[in-house]
Amino acid sequence: MAKKLFPVVLRGYDTDQIDELFTRIDEVLANGDADARAAVREELKSTVFTFAARGYPPTDVAMAVDQRLSALS
């Protein structure tokens, strides 16, 4: 089982959606060029997260999104 990025709460953001997006972001941060960073930054800014039972806390995700946006700048 893969390690979860955040604690899981009763109702929060869909864990699969967040895990997939943050995996792509982290890959681009590690290996991407400026164009790839710009593209994933725009994707992150425009993504609407889906709520689900047993999801990630929205406040934790919001802080991580802000950190990733800064790193992608």
Q: CA-to-CA distance for 55 and 5, rounded, in angstroms?
A: 11
pLDDT in tens, 9-30: 999 999 999 999 999 999 999 9
Q: How far is CA 69 from CA 11, 33, 52, 65, 72, in A?
A: 25, 15, 24, 6, 5
Domain extent listing, the chain: 10-48+58-72
Mean pLDDT to the nearest integer, 35-46: 95
Paired with 52 in beta bridges are 12
Residue 2 banded pLDDT, cuts 50, 70, 90: low
Helices (H), 1-73: 15-31, 34-46, 58-72
pTM of the model: 0.87
